[in-house]
Structure 1
Amino acid sequence: MSTSPLDPPSGHELLVVRPSKWTLVVVVQLREGTMRFNELRRNMGGVPQKSLSQTLRELERDGFVTRTAYATIPPRVDYDLTELGREVLTLADDFHRFAQRNREAVEEARRLFDAVDARPSA
């Protein structure tokens, strides 16, 4: 029986990161340092509060972000990248450069796909 290169090695767990739509945006926002939840939300524009909360929780769980809560009124919660999070930032920067470099090719592929997809089915 053959195995795919994507199959996890026998007896070992494979690290799986399931980024949300907002994962890279949050990581890039935290590039400048510690931010509060509402500051992040404001800087990110249209992100729904629930989506940002879920994304931050997943990033914290995976070890990419630290969350520091202060017992103040009103409560204050700060978020910051860990060393692992800074490594993800490197990936985000690489992806951004890839997207810039290949934007026209992707747009052309979409145009071709949409032209074929728009034809009536036989």
Structure 2
Amino acid sequence: MPAPSDWLSISGEFLCLWTMQPTHAAINMYTSPGSTMNDGLFHVIILTAECSRLQLLQSFLAFENGGHVKHKHVKIIKCKAYRLQPESDNSHIDLDGEEIEYGAFQASVQQSAMKLYY
């Protein structure tokens, strides 16, 4: 199933594509500065392939304080839904660290689908 025609489409070679809703992936990984649990948005973090190994290391180390958002090879797109469609067979897709079936993957924010009390 193709993505709707009015969606933004980005293609290219990426070293990493990470989709987040909360601000932190771990206690020491400030992955999505400025996001909130109820903003209704995914933060799609893309690390482009033009990045050298040193720049890759620098961007990963900057995740601790959110500095990766200023890295020239990191792009962040905020959206309510996304579709990942691999263009080749030589990559892997995982969800929460578990490898999933290779192919197109689509997700959308389900606003108010559950209540969190804290």
TM-score, scaled to structure 1:
0.24
TM-score, scaled to structure 2:
0.24
The higher radius of gyration belongs to 1
Give the structure with the larger helix fraction.
1
Give the structure with the larger strand fraction.
2
